[in-house]
Structure 1
Amino acid sequence: MRGQSSVRHVDELRTPRAQVLVALTAVSVGVIYGYDLSNIAGALRYITDEFHLSTHQQATLTVAVVIGQIAGALSGGLLANAIGRKKSLLLATAAYAVFAVLGALSASLPMLVVARLLLGVALGLSVVVVPVFVAESAPSRVRGSLLVADQLMTVVGSIAGYLVAYLLAGSQSWRWMLGLAAVPALLVMLALLSVPDTARWYLLKGRVDQARQALTRVEPEADVEQKLAEIAHAFSAEGGGVLAGMRRRSCRRAMAFVLGLGFFAHITGVNAVIYYGPTLFAEMGFQSNSALLGLPALAQAAALVAVVVSLLLVDRVGRRPVLLAGIATMIAANGVLIGAFASGSGFGAFPVLAFVGVLLFVAGFSFGFGGLLSVYAGESLPSRLRSMGSAALFTSELVATAIVAAVFLPMLNVLGGTATFAVFGLLALAAYAFAARFAPETQHTQLESIRHLWENRGARPKARSGTRAQACGVATGEPAEEIDEGSVV
């Protein structure tokens, strides 16, 4: 009996290869998102020269894609529930390829702005759906790592975008910089064709046979019928639809958290560093193309190291420690940047100190917010509301991104670097306070059980005979489970 138990335990710890491959295929969409973030930063210098753009027009072009992403994120939750996670991602990648080429062929600024706006819709849809797809496909013990891998792919794409911009800088071929984005989009689309949709979405639509087939394909060693029964029971416990779920206090609590988390993640300024990297480094005194395009790529390399470390730790030490450590690093980075700009360009070590500040800032974001946004987007809400929760988080994030993209250049020109990064430092402090107070610990928790955390205000429920938790989507009329004080966050 002991031998059989031991074998069974080993089986439980083994992660099916197909499950990981499905999740990694989904997170590869992040390459497209990262490439777009950085290639527009490299291309913007040459677009400005060709179309004679003012500072306001540069900001308009940059913000256009963010406005499109907001529209895509707002519709992403509904679309993912209506047509499925897989079809939504296929639509997003196909649309991205089309509009990337359209942007590269633009003959005027208005045409380019429209192309970037529509490309943003595709990006917004993808960032909402990927965390939901991965969370519903991955086993709980490695779910955090696979969700953080979404940020890893984003950083890889960002580095690729800067490198392409650097290689094409001599010819000033901004059209190739933008148009080449269609290549990874098409490759990802082809990869997605071979993976199934999630069993949870099939069950949500009452398609039990397809749910069974999807589970059998990605979890061949699992007890498929038992798994289906657990998911179906969770759906039954949630009860009602989206509006019924959102009327419950625990669901509103979860939704308020993802809205706040998304907003604080990007109001702290990371996209200013990415979108306007070359402009920021020029402000620090760097002049050559190799510096203005190579240094942002180097900053993204630091982000790559940080997100790899985050990926390795998130399922070992938990979500909260990783998130808080990342925000703390951003606070320290703002302090370095404030000190560098306050010392003035006459200070000999100013460029080096400022660059170190940027490295810390980008690495801290990637370690904390960068990876954990996808984790909490995929985990925080129950099945019927999961895509809506992801849409809420990323819409909030994109609103903050649009604000920063619109005001960063005017702030830098009017206030200077010292005051600009002082503002971002204060916002990072507020973000730390928010995360410390409200972020739950979802490490090693089954998706169907996370809903209990919100009823207990972030504490893991401790079973007590004769009671059940009133959780997100559950209205039992019975008292909540006893709170395990050792896990209150």
Structure 2
Amino acid sequence: MPPTRPPHVSAYRTGRMIALTGALVGVIYGYDTGSVSGALVFLSKDFQLSSAEQGLVNSVLVVGSVLGAVLGGRVADALGRRKTMVMVAASYAVFVALSAFAPNVTVLDTMRFLLGVAIGLCIVAAPLYIAESTPARIRGAATATYQVACVAGITITYFVNWGLADGGHWRWMLGLSAVPAALIVIPLLLLPDTPRWYVLKGRDEEAVRVLRLVDPDVDAEAETRAIAAQIRQERGGHGGLAAMFRPPYTRATLFVLALGFFCQITGINAVTYYSPEIFQKMGFTGSGQSFLLPSIVELASLAATVLALFIIDRFGRRVVLFSGIGTMLGSLVVLTAVFGLTSLRGAATWIGFAALLLFTAAFNFGFGSLIWVYASEAFPSRLRSMGASAMLTADLVANFLIAQFFPSVIDRAGPTWTFAGFAVLALLAIVFVARMAPETKGRRLEEIQSYWQNGGRWVSAPRPTAAPAAAVGAARRGDG
């Protein structure tokens, strides 16, 4: 065993760069998610879009994302997590620039479909890249930084939309993220891939080298042997997609599919994609309020996501998830009551705004932070990328349903019944989490396999980890 020594800041430089680079990819993804909410208001007028066509502008990107997520596991295994992210960043820059110059809605939808494929690959590869390069003691916080980055990107978008709203510059709203997407390729080319991917490819010496860089306090040779032994054991059984639907991983597969679906079907992207229209239905008028208020909502969401980052490895996954979904449910009940009033004005309008702000912040605190963590933790090395792909595919299918049908549903059923429906779905999500979500705090990625093999029960206590305060401090510094 290597001698015990306090970690030096410079020893974690590679780990910090991996976490930071993965987070920057998340900022770009978040920016695109939010940019269309402002652009849609103006491009709908330029292209004279119906409600269904407006939904298609959003949903066609989600369809592409579903395809990218389905392929993401295999691509990340074949090319590596890092090379997949390089390809994603480069193609994203090209497609987002072309969408900004689209002469008609057909070209715009085509570019957004291709952009969606890149995003689907990204949301599989980036959390895997971070999680597989991070020590167990801070893995939850490190992986949750991706959600912090996504929310930061959405927040930036809303302020950009607000600044460009007076001139209706929707092409700038869509196209500005091409520059940072191109620049992020540079640090990605300088970083290594993950130790687990190197072991998957039989490149154990490189795995040892990277482990020494990202976590100097572990015995890199012993850890590499443990990963290799686990992968050999897994290869003794059936592989591929079929293995996910056979014991012992049937329960894990059902868990990730349902969690991914509940994450989106409870309505978060109805708010993200269509916030200006929702605020107008609340009684807020003028582009200033319609674009500034979503910016304030996202600032609160960013604060909530950062809070989750610092407590997720202290109090555990289930506490954070329960708190987030429970608060979402309460907010949806308030929104249902507010929209049920005969007329919205005065205090009722601001109560509705506060409930929407709390709903969005609670999502990012719970669902938003935990989906990336569970997507990277639920399966062993050989199935991890495919499992993450399955979860995020379910997430994107629900996202498609929201993006395509929310404008029509709220027009026909009205906001009262629409948000009441979301409240029922949030209640079902709480019941599901209570029955199915495991507590993986402090568990090694290979160790979590035993939970599913034992029918959803732990067979041993988690290994001792650094004290919570130390883990929080490490997360604050960006170590790992």
1:461 — aligned with what? 459
1:229 — aligned with what? 225
Q: Which amino acid aligns with 1:146?
A: A
d(CA) in 1 for partners of 2:319, 2:203: 39
Shift of 1:244: 6.9
Query: Aligned match of 1:338 in 336, 350, 368?
Result: 336
Q: Which amino acid aligns with 1:355?
A: F
Indicate how the Cα distance of structure 1 residues 326 and 14 shifts in structure 2: closer, same or farther if over 3 A, else same: farther
Aligned residues: 459
d(CA) in 1 for partners of 2:165, 2:315: 43
2:19 — aligned with what? 23
2:440 — aligned with what? 442
2:64 — aligned with what? 68
Q: Please say if residues 24 and 146 of structure 1, whose CA atoms lie closer than 8 Å, have aligned partners that are also in contact.
A: no
User: 423-432 or 44-53, which moves further after superposition?
Assistant: 44-53
Higher relative contact order, chain-length normalized (CA < 8 Å, sep 6+):
2
Q: Which amino acid aligns with 1:442?
A: T
Q: Please say if residues 4 and 217 of structure 2, whose CA atoms lie closer than 8 Å, have aligned partners that are also in contact.
A: no
Supply the RMSD in Å over aligned alpha carbons.
2.0
Q: Are residues 1:304 and 2:302 paired?
A: yes
d(CA) in 1 for partners of 2:10, 2:242: 38
Shift of 1:243: 5.2
Q: Please say if residues 20 and 138 of structure 1, whose CA atoms lie closer than 8 Å, have aligned partners that are also in contact.
A: no
2:281 — aligned with what? 283
1:268 — aligned with what? 266
Indicate how the Cα distance of structure 1 residues 300 and 229 shifts in structure 2: closer, same or farther if over 3 A, else same: same
Q: How far does the alpha carbon of each residue in 1:375-400 deviate from its partner, in whole angstroms, 9 at most, with x for none? A: 00010000000000110010000000
Q: Are residues 1:175 and 2:168 paired?
A: no
2:205 — aligned with what? 209
Q: How far does the alpha carbon of each residue in 1:57-91 deviate from its partner, in whole angstroms, 9 at most, with x for none? A: 11111111111100110000010011100011111
2:465 — aligned with what? none
1:483 — aligned with what? none
Shift of 1:405: 1.2
SS at match of 2:448: helix
With the length of structure 2 as denominator, give the TM-score of the two structures.
0.92
Shift of 1:345: 2.3
Which residues of 2 match residues 22-41 of structure 1 at below 5 A?
Answer: 22-41=18-37
2:412 — aligned with what? 414
d(CA) in 2 for partners of 1:370, 1:264: 11
SS at match of 1:338: helix
Q: Please say if residues 245 and 253 of structure 2, whose CA atoms lie closer than 8 Å, have aligned partners that are also in contact.
A: no
SS at match of 2:132: helix
1:77 — aligned with what? 73
Query: Aligned match of 2:160 in 142, 159, 164?
Result: 164
Q: Please say if residues 81 and 387 of structure 1, whose CA atoms lie closer than 8 Å, have aligned partners that are also in contact.
A: yes
Stretches of structure 1 that go unaligned for 5 or more consecutive residues are 464-489
Shift of 1:251: 1.4
d(CA) in 2 for partners of 1:218, 1:154: 24
Q: Which amino acid aligns with 2:444?
A: Q
Q: Which amino acid aligns with 2:296?
A: L
Q: Please say if residues 344 and 350 of structure 1, whose CA atoms lie closer than 8 Å, have aligned partners that are also in contact.
A: no
d(CA) in 2 for partners of 1:347, 1:248: 55
1:485 — aligned with what? none
Q: Which amino acid aligns with 1:214?
A: V
d(CA) in 2 for partners of 1:409, 1:387: 34
d(CA) in 2 for partners of 1:92, 1:223: 33
Indicate how the Cα distance of structure 1 residues 445 and 13 shifts in structure 2: closer, same or farther if over 3 A, else same: farther
Shift of 1:415: 1.2
Q: Please say if residues 332 and 359 of structure 2, whose CA atoms lie closer than 8 Å, have aligned partners that are also in contact.
A: yes
Indicate how the Cα distance of structure 1 residues 345 and 184 shifts in structure 2: closer, same or farther if over 3 A, else same: farther
Query: Aligned match of 1:151 in 143, 147, 154?
Result: 147
2:94 — aligned with what? 98
Query: Aligned match of 2:184 in 188, 204, 209?
Result: 188
Indicate how the Cα distance of structure 1 residues 47 and 188 shifts in structure 2: closer, same or farther if over 3 A, else same: same
Shift of 1:221: 4.7
Indicate how the Cα distance of structure 1 residues 446 and 46 shifts in structure 2: closer, same or farther if over 3 A, else same: same
The runs of 4+ residues in structure 1 deviating greater than 6 Å are 12-15
2:472 — aligned with what? none
Shift of 1:9: 7.4
Q: Are residues 1:429 and 2:424 paired?
A: no
d(CA) in 1 for partners of 2:5, 2:122: 36
